Amino acid sequence: MNSPHPIFFDEIIINALKEDFGRAGDLTTEALVEKGIRGTGRIIAKQDGCIAGLEIATHTFSLLESDSEIEIMVPEGDSVSSGTVLSVVNASARTILAGERTALNLLGLLSGIATSTQDVVKKVKGYNTRIVCTRKTTPGLRALEKYAVRTGGGFNHRFGLDDAVLIKENHITVAGGLANAVRGVRSRIGHLAKVEVEVETLDQLREAVKEEVDIVMLDNMSFETACRAMEIVDGKVMIEVSGGLTGEDAKKYASIGADIISMGSLTHSSPVFDVSLIMDPLNGSR
């Protein structure tokens, strides 16, 4: 898994560093460490899990100091055990200490998402079902969070409102009905855009199938109702299941033939991966 191009995260890191540096910079480090002294820091996993965003996170040090030497020890997407050295950073000691929190925050966030995604993907192994994330992402971090989902073996739903048509409950309400909504968007969109409709009842499902939509999302349907929905659809359209699902829920819905299981929790509720940076003692060299 290749990391996104720096164009997607340079500004994110720079803004995070500005936030951390505040108005006066790193008061502690600048008081304790002379300018120019080199140091070495080791980024270490403190739990088992899937690593995502290591190159992104360590890019923090390169932005602070262009000649930072960064050794990546673990490929993106690898599963590691607690205690694994993930990366070694050699740079000005001031650079390492000042950039530490920003780098670890990014790495912890993205690896946490990848780890949660990997756990769910394992539960549906053997089924022809994709685990996907949603647009429930941290504002400004969507590209990185969705990358972390892919690193963990999942897939992405829409990146934004312009990817595809997703007709939801409020769209149906303002359009005056499901059929009106489908026909309305079809009269305006290009031929390459897919149309997905969110349904909450079996009657809506039948109407969506009649309108020959590409994908139907079963939103917050009980397992029993979803089983009935699969019988009604009978392979005519692609089925997505959504609505506060857990990993065990995903396995159940995958077992009845759901094509897609979307989980907003992958990006908005994954526990942060525990990781730390440990400095070697300074030798005073310049």
The set of catalytic residues is 101, 136, 168, 198, 219
Q: What is the Cα–Cα distance from 229 to 240, expressed in whole angstroms?
A: 11
> Which of 275, 272, 280 has the alpha carbon at shortest distance from 97?
280
Task: Name every residue whose Cβ is closer than 8 Å to that of residue 22 and which is 6 or more positions away in sequence.
Answer: none
Residues forming a β-bridge with 39: 91
Q: What is the Cα–Cα distance from 130 to 260, expressed in whole angstroms?
A: 5
Q: What is the Cα–Cα distance from 119 to 263, expressed in whole angstroms?
A: 13
SS3 of 42, please? strand
Structure tokens given for 170: 């409020």
